[in-house]
Structure 1
Amino acid sequence: MQLLLRAGVLQHFKHFYGRRFLTQSATGIEVSELTNDVKHEIESHWRTQVSQGQFDPARNDKFYVLSMFPYPSGTLHMGHVRVYAISDTVARFHRMCGQNVFQPIGWDAFGLPAENAAIQRGVEPAEWTDANIAQMKKQLQALSCSFDWKHEMSTCSPEYYKWTQKLFLMLYNKGLAYQNEALVNWDPVDNTVLADEQVDANGCSWRSGAKVQKKLLNQWFIRTTAYAKALLDGLEDPTLQDWRDIINLQRHWIGDCDGYAFQLLTSATNYLRIWTRNPEHLKDPNSFIVIKQNHYLSKLSNASRLTVENPFAGTIIPVIFSDQANFPEHCDVYLAAPSFREQDKELQETFGLAFFAHTKTSIAIDAKLAREEVLEAATRLKIGGYRVSSKLQDWLISRQRYWGTPIPIIHCKKCGAIPVPEDQLPVVLPDKKFLETQREEALRCTCPNCGDTEAKRETDTMDTFVDSSWYYLRFLDPSYTGDIVNKELVQKCMPVDLYIGGKEHAVLHLYYARFVNHFLHSCGLSPTPEPFSRLLVQGMVMGRSFRVKGSGRYIKEDEVEIVNAKKNQARLKETKEPVVMTWEKMSKSKFNGVDPTDMFKEYGTDTTRLISLADVAPTSHRNWSSATFPGILNWQKRLWLTLNDFYAARTVVGDAGMENVDTQSKAFQVEDDKLFDARNFYVKGATFNYRHTHQLSVAISKMQGLTNSLRRTPKHIVRFSPQYERALASQIIMLAPMAPHFASELWSKFVTVPHRLNASTPELQWERDVLAQRWPNIDADYKLDLTIKVNGFENCAIKVARSNLDRITHNDAMDIAFNTASVTSYLTDKKIRTTNFVLYPGIEAILNIYVDKIKQSSAQTTNSDEEIVNK
């Protein structure tokens, strides 16, 4: 009902609180019903106050939360809303826990979509991209995420791609970037080369969907395979948390590093990749190479005379095109060593290749020494010699399109390919119109080596994955001019504590980012080889789509008559044709997209954020349906009523029955204790899901449980209970990371209540806004669980005061377990294999005991507990 204040009471509190009481809150809203208009008024008032996130580089207690930066396509979609709502919620939580949170945002702004869209509209890609960035930034600000906008950056800015070019030169100088002629994947629609990773299982482009063609081109590669073994071993790094199946995806992509890769120069002047488990075989002066007959080299006019230089044996290796060899899996090149393998000697005779005269008897080669010599020489010559799987290839980064980072190489007729001197970076993109009309002039430059003025700049640009492979480092100081990164800040803030993004980037982007960080770690520019400690791989937001059965034509929802929603049965209104209803990734072409701006306008930002976080775990797909909205809408309304009721109970005087409440009575204390337990129980649950599991939907459920406890509280308890006040304060504070505007409004009303029973409580800073409050803590005397599990199953849970639980060690937990009857009786005929102990301070402790059953003869007696432990 409408909150009504009698004139006399109102006059009294006008005098007591002055003008502030007239508003009851910072916005002055005094209605009892939470309407959409009220929400918009609240958000309009609080938006500028809740949107900024300040990172202090001077502090040490950092928490780096990073969501994958967006591609500026022009408008946000619900997937963006979900990922940034997750990121911002976690960032705000850790900020309220007292940590120095860094949550940056920027733009992955190069790439084919922008260039193609600009061509279609007759504008420059830069103009199109800048307009999209402005539009999406406006929407992101409407979402009120606490990004540190001072660190905003865009990969298409010369101030950024100057350092991407520096990264390329660092790789080039280490022999990890090279140019080679190769048979590549050509997208005939986008007119560019694709890396093997960008071609799907059907041989189609990941971007355009066109059937990929094969073309022989001179391309730039990054030798990611040189770090294959380090990247594979890095997946066992104990700092990696919550990577789950992503580790298996990465491991599968890299493969078993059970061999070695070399790149040897052919007489056709390109490099041939040779993979072998036995690098010592390259010491064989009689070695030869067998290449499959369908290999692109077999199409060369001089293929029959093709040879390969062997710097390890000082010989020229003959090449045979044949399918007879025992090729390693995933390989079309076979290194044969007759001096080592009898089967290769037979193969040599089959092909009619002559032996060196002295090998007809035998060559005494020390295989171990030969291997060491080959690997050392390969490293020195920068032609391989590293552990790698037979299937993993180097990263092809050349793209034959304009809108990308220019590769900083100059081609000179006298000197060949020459890297651009670092003091001449960035090599900026030439004006597109000038490039199209006067291409030769636009590309002409001076060779930095010999001064030839007829040299030409490299025309290929880099794959956009290069730009995003290191952005997490540059974010820390995007204006730094001293080097590629601000080493001091990187040393202080890396690795990223929590990295949030879609599973579609679980292989390529993560693989490239891990490679670059491993490389920069080897250069002393990153403190750890692995860039991301924890991953949160969020599920997609799915919309309900409708397709006419048979034709598969997508239709709009308003064209459909739903027959049975539970059975997904529907039909076309006009023709009564059956319609297939499914949940699919939102897309304009499928008519199943939802515009976030429409959601903001109808329900408000906070409600949209809460809906995107509720019901399902962040890692699961989210079926976007208005049928799920009422739960969140009703919860917000109940919270609004709860604050109004609290305000009324604490401010309205003269209520019948309120004057004689005995706050020292047993009945009152029972109710107060219930609120003590409820507050601690739900704070514990919500905190665990905010901090440890990131199951934010469960955190919402816990907070809703606390709301239910508050709503059930009798009115006289609401008026006089200190624990009710604490519980309500905790409720608002825990809501703040998810719904910052709404929580700020509730808090501003909460702190205007004159009867502050806990006004001196240090846990609450009454004069500060809700986002400046410290996260609710579990009371020291509240009993928490020490859970004992045997072989994964809970045996018992022992209640321990929080103050004691936080100090429990592994040995303490073992002592407690073996003084507990249910544990010792279960272990009577079992042998302890191992134990481990996990402590979540302020939450719970878990002792895991793993045992094996003891095989006993009939004459054996049962071992005592002490004997079991000793064993």
Structure 2
Amino acid sequence: MSSSGMPQDKFIDNDVRHKIEESWKEKILKRPKQNENNEKYYVLSMFPYPSGSLHMGHVRVYAISDAISRFHRMNGKNVIHPMGWDAFGLPAENAAIERNIDPSEWTQKNITNMKEQLKRMGCDFDWQRELTTCDKNYYKWTQELFLKLYKKNLTYQNESYVNWDPIDKTVLADEQVDTNGRSWRSGAKVEKKLLKQWFIKTTLYAKSLYDGLDDPILKNWRDIIKIQKNWIGKCDGTTIDFELICDINEKPKKLTLWTDKPEFIEHIKFLAVSRDNFLSKVKINDFTNIQEKYLDANVINPFTGDVIPIYYSKNIKYPKMRDNYLGIPGVNESDAEFCDLVGIKYDKLDELTQEETVKQRHEVMEEAKMKNIGGHLVSSRLRDWLISRQRYWGTPIPIIHCDNCGAVPVPSDQLPVELPVMSSSNNKIPNLREATDWLKTKCPECGNDATREADTMDTFVDSSWYFMRYIDSNNDNEMFSVDKSFKYLPVDLYIGGKEHAALHLYYARFINHFLHSENLLPTREPFRQLLVQGMVMGKSYCDKESGKYLKQDEVELTDDNKYVNKNTGMPVLTNWEKMSKSKYNGVDPMEMFDEYGADTTRLIMLADVAPTSSRNWSNETFPGVFNWQNRLWMTIGTFLTLRNKMTKQDIDNISLRQDELKEDNEYLFESRNYYIKGVTSHLTMSQQFNAAISKMQGFTNAIRRKNKLLLTHSRDLERALATQIIMLAPIAPQFASELWAGFCSAPYHLANDDPFIQLDKDVLEQSWPALDMDYKMNVDIMISGNQIATLKIPRKILETLSADDVAKMATETPEFCDKIKNRTIDGFRYEKLPGFDGKIFFQSTDLNAKKKKAVL
């Protein structure tokens, strides 16, 4: 009998699955105490917006992070695996408005529900580290982060034309407007509006952020590096602030303009703007036949005081993501042609040497920095981060406006600036400008009456540093302990969706670079490795004629294997698409848990498809996992049944049967080590759970294909069974716990001396299986990319050898000597990683081969 009270020699069904999980659901959530002196491993999954319910995308990302967390803990690591809630922002506020309740009430209810669902899923998050961005104990430190930036002149308030969402009634950063000029959330056509807003000078770190993408600390970022580099752009120019002079009533005082020729800043002769620039829209109504047009507007060159005329032009090639262009005709032929056309006088300039260019560029940019008008290397496509939002549900910006003192930061000892309680009734969007009592305050510097800043911060500020707070989330005195940051950061593995590979990742990297420059963090890059999981796709059905999406029960499959609308008989198009309620192709995770159990759902999610690939969710893939569960279940059941039938005399005579089992035991010894090596490699290097599960399924088959006498007489079979269950535990902790309880309940064991099998502890307390010291490991000998031989060296010997020792052994093989006869070996690089097979690469001089890294 197992711990769930079910005989294990029967097939496993959904009823058994539920009884297993009922028995183990609380036990698997008890996190064993970790040794804080052990090597740390920080696995982080992107924290969710508390919508109220998990979706299948959540199941995938948290199944991955939970399995990795458990795997590394079984390997003796001091694992950090936290969870929190990205709780501020428009979705919660809009939902609360629709329901006439307070956003905090709506948010907390959703958090409670989702937290229970994550526990139902069996996730071992460290809830002692839990944080919620709308909690004053969190956003107090978001405000402190703002003040740190403010003190370093990295935040500023500026009046400029911004992107206004007319539906959500708030400003959007440039990054939150799509290529069609629509809001990323509401889909509304964005309008331009002149407002005084708060910005963070992310462009000051553009070069650092760009160069950081080549940091050797980064692992498996793949195409995300390309996405980030494209977002930041090559830093081949700089921005300079120019005073704007024109008779427009609503205009900013200055324009921030980009140029890739700052060394010629004194020779600028005109500013051209495109049709998208606010100046051209104000001054010209008819663009039909206009080529170049002076706009009766100018900017002042801050280096010379020269008045620079502004023209509208269709013919200028504008820099990427810019609607303006600074013309320097003395060094640019097309600029000269433009000046000739509109009658601007200019002088031809002598070409500078490279040394002169570098020197003058440096001098100009340094002067701009001194004047606080720009001068930092940046691409044309990058802008400063606009963080002001005109909505209620967000972190208040800790600034006080005083008629005498101007904008004054709230002193740190007066944080947090708490959000006032405001009603969202009558479908009305609350606004802090209406909180008149809250707005009234005293100036911290002069004591006069003053007014609080009424804008809140972009929620990306909240999520730009949450991974830092996790390491010290209960610290009431500072954002986090510097000692803990140097101990636990950077994050070792960050798991999340590709949709966050640009914005969120860019902002998080910026904040990390900044705090690293302040000596608060150990590395400038926040995340060593990224795992960008693919989407979970559902099968959709769309009426070909109407274009309307149909529910699955509204379609049927014809004899010729085509789908049609049941009601009309018209053809139906099928496709795999991102799960969506509107497309009727979503799957409720709780329904999966209710039918098959959480562990089985996790296994289905992780099997067959690599985590980085899209997952087509179909019940056609379920039988593979069901069959494997049955094979494991039946194997343990048979193991128990046979052992329970053994008499004392049978047990005493076990040693007499070993000779006839020698060949089988050797096979099991080899299989156990082979599959440990394969599963461990897939989980350690690339988190390829599908490949690891496939290996484990092969291991199960290897165990089952031998004769039943092994189940009662073989120490190697017992070790193989234990290894199989232990390796399953991180992925399906409840099912593995049940199998382990059955395994341990056998009346006798032959592998009591194995240090990796502790029968008095649950499976999640076991150590991850290690390769046997007598197992012969493969070392492939490669010359110029061709494998010529393989050394087989027992692990206990291999771990004592130096790189030179193994390389010498390779050079003494007949295959090697034949290959390089009459040739010389130029050299090699070699690195040893005990516990894994590897390769030795040699560079042959006459083949002009590229030197490679030898990994053992």
Counterpart of 2:646 (choices 653, 656, 677) is 653
Residue 572 of structure 2 corresponds to residue 550 of structure 1: no
Aligned residue in 2 for 1:406: 396
Aligned residue in 1 for 2:309: 319
Q: Give the distance between the partners of 1:58 and 1:352, measured in 2 at CA.
A: 74
Aligned residue in 1 for 2:718: 725
Residue 500 of structure 2 corresponds to residue 505 of structure 1: yes
What is the alpha-carbon root mean square deviation over aligned residues? 3.0
Structure 1, unaligned runs of 5 or more: 1-23, 856-862, 864-871
Aligned residue in 2 for 1:279: 262
Q: Give the distance between the partners of 1:236 and 1:829, measured in 2 at CA.
A: 41
Alpha carbons 1:663, 1:669 under 8 Å: kept? no
**Deviation at residue 523 of structure 1 after TM alignment:** 0.8
Residue 13 of structure 2 corresponds to residue 30 of structure 1: no
Residue 687 of structure 2 corresponds to residue 708 of structure 1: no
Aligned residue in 2 for 1:860: none
The structure-2 alpha-carbon separation of the partners of 1:39 and 1:327, relative to structure 1 and needing over 3 Å to count, comes to closer
Alpha carbons 1:556, 1:591 under 8 Å: kept? yes
Alpha carbons 1:54, 1:148 under 8 Å: kept? no
The structure-2 alpha-carbon separation of the partners of 1:343 and 1:76, relative to structure 1 and needing over 3 Å to count, comes to closer
The structure-2 alpha-carbon separation of the partners of 1:77 and 1:277, relative to structure 1 and needing over 3 Å to count, comes to same
**Deviation at residue 214 of structure 1 after TM alignment:** 2.7
The structure-2 alpha-carbon separation of the partners of 1:331 and 1:641, relative to structure 1 and needing over 3 Å to count, comes to same
Alpha carbons 1:103, 1:148 under 8 Å: kept? yes
Aligned residue in 1 for 2:124: 146
Aligned residue in 2 for 1:738: 731
Residue 221 of structure 2 corresponds to residue 243 of structure 1: yes
SS at match of 2:706: coil
SS at match of 2:835: coil
Task: Write the letter of the residue equivalent to 2:767.
Answer: R
Q: Give the distance between the partners of 2:826 and 2:311, measured in 1 at CA.
A: 57
Q: Give the distance between the partners of 2:706 and 2:349, measured in 1 at CA.
A: 98
Aligned residue in 2 for 1:8: none
Query: What aligned pairs does 1:93-492 form with structure 2 within 5 A after superposition?
Result: 93-267=71-245, 269-284=252-267, 288-292=270-274, 294-298=276-280, 306-313=297-304, 315-323=305-313, 327-337=318-328, 368-433=358-423, 438-453=434-449, 455-492=450-487
**785-794 or 758-767: bigger deviation:** 785-794
Residue 743 of structure 2 corresponds to residue 750 of structure 1: yes
Q: Give the distance between the partners of 2:349 and 2:671, measured in 1 at CA.
A: 88
Q: Give the distance between the partners of 1:518 and 1:199, measured in 2 at CA.
A: 26
**Deviation at residue 484 of structure 1 after TM alignment:** 2.0
The structure-2 alpha-carbon separation of the partners of 1:648 and 1:329, relative to structure 1 and needing over 3 Å to count, comes to closer
**Deviation at residue 461 of structure 1 after TM alignment:** 1.6
Q: Give the distance between the partners of 2:316 and 2:549, measured in 1 at CA.
A: 51
Structure 2, unaligned runs of 5 or more: 246-250, 285-293, 425-429, 850-856
Task: Write the letter of the residue equivalent to 1:380.
Answer: M
Q: Give the distance between the partners of 1:308 and 1:485, measured in 2 at CA.
A: 45
SS at match of 1:218: strand
SS at match of 2:84: coil
Q: Give the distance between the partners of 1:240 and 1:247, measured in 2 at CA.
A: 9
Residue 797 of structure 2 corresponds to residue 804 of structure 1: yes
Q: Give the distance between the partners of 1:651 and 1:550, measured in 2 at CA.
A: 66
Q: Give the distance between the partners of 2:602 and 2:316, measured in 1 at CA.
A: 60
**Deviation at residue 444 of structure 1 after TM alignment:** 2.8
Q: Give the distance between the partners of 1:573 and 1:114, measured in 2 at CA.
A: 39
Query: What aligned pairs does 1:635-650 form with structure 2 within 5 A after superposition?
Result: 635-650=628-643
TM-score scaled by length of structure 1: 0.88
Q: Alpha-carbon deviations, 1:512-535, whole Å to 9, x = none? A: 111110111001111100000011
Q: Give the distance between the partners of 1:177 and 1:496, measured in 2 at CA.
A: 27
SS at match of 2:512: helix
Task: Write the letter of the residue equivalent to 1:227.
Answer: Y
Q: Give the distance between the partners of 1:621 and 1:834, measured in 2 at CA.
A: 43
Q: Give the distance between the partners of 1:361 and 1:241, measured in 2 at CA.
A: 47
**Deviation at residue 773 of structure 1 after TM alignment:** 0.7
Q: Give the distance between the partners of 2:460 and 2:755, measured in 1 at CA.
A: 49
Q: Alpha-carbon deviations, 1:92-137, whole Å to 9, x = none? A: 0000000100100000111111111111111111111111111101
Residue 589 of structure 2 corresponds to residue 596 of structure 1: yes
Alpha carbons 1:339, 1:363 under 8 Å: kept? no
Q: Give the distance between the partners of 1:540 and 1:362, measured in 2 at CA.
A: 56
Task: Write the letter of the residue equivalent to 1:543.
Answer: G
**166-175 or 821-830: bigger deviation:** 821-830
TM-score scaled by length of structure 2: 0.90
Alpha carbons 1:53, 1:103 under 8 Å: kept? no
Q: Alpha-carbon deviations, 1:833-861, whole Å to 9, x = none? A: 88554544212112344668659xxxxxx
Q: Alpha-carbon deviations, 1:125-160, whole Å to 9, x = none? A: 111111111110110010111110001010011111
Q: Give the distance between the partners of 1:603 and 1:327, measured in 2 at CA.
A: 58
Q: Alpha-carbon deviations, 1:645-668, whole Å to 9, x = none? A: 111222213599999766465431
Task: Write the letter of the residue equivalent to 2:454.
Answer: T
The structure-2 alpha-carbon separation of the partners of 1:54 and 1:170, relative to structure 1 and needing over 3 Å to count, comes to farther
**Deviation at residue 832 of structure 1 after TM alignment:** 7.2
**Deviation at residue 736 of structure 1 after TM alignment:** 0.6
Task: Write the letter of the residue equivalent to 1:171.
Answer: L
Query: What aligned pairs does 1:594-633 form with structure 2 within 5 A after superposition?
Result: 594-633=587-626
The structure-2 alpha-carbon separation of the partners of 1:543 and 1:764, relative to structure 1 and needing over 3 Å to count, comes to same
Alpha carbons 2:56, 2:588 under 8 Å: kept? yes
Task: Write the letter of the residue equivalent to 1:761.
Answer: D
Alpha carbons 1:786, 1:805 under 8 Å: kept? no
The structure-2 alpha-carbon separation of the partners of 1:301 and 1:643, relative to structure 1 and needing over 3 Å to count, comes to same
Task: Write the letter of the residue equivalent to 2:409.
Answer: P
**Deviation at residue 174 of structure 1 after TM alignment:** 1.7
Instruction: State the identity as a percent.
Output: 50
Query: How many residues in Structure 1 have an aligned counterpart in Structure 2?
Result: 825
**508-517 or 287-296: bigger deviation:** 287-296
Alpha carbons 1:830, 1:854 under 8 Å: kept? no
**707-716 or 819-828: bigger deviation:** 819-828
Q: Alpha-carbon deviations, 1:489-518, whole Å to 9, x = none? A: 111000001111111111111111111101
SS at match of 1:189: coil
Q: Give the distance between the partners of 2:224 and 2:232, measured in 1 at CA.
A: 12
SS at match of 1:433: coil
**Deviation at residue 55 of structure 1 after TM alignment:** 6.9
SS at match of 2:471: coil
Alpha carbons 1:52, 1:148 under 8 Å: kept? no
Q: Give the distance between the partners of 1:494 and 1:188, measured in 2 at CA.
A: 41
Task: Write the letter of the residue equivalent to 1:515.
Answer: F
Task: Write the letter of the residue equivalent to 1:153.
Answer: L
Aligned residue in 2 for 1:843: 836
Q: Alpha-carbon deviations, 1:193-251, whole Å to 9, x = none? A: 22222222333222122333333322222221111111111111111111111111111
Aligned residue in 2 for 1:3: none
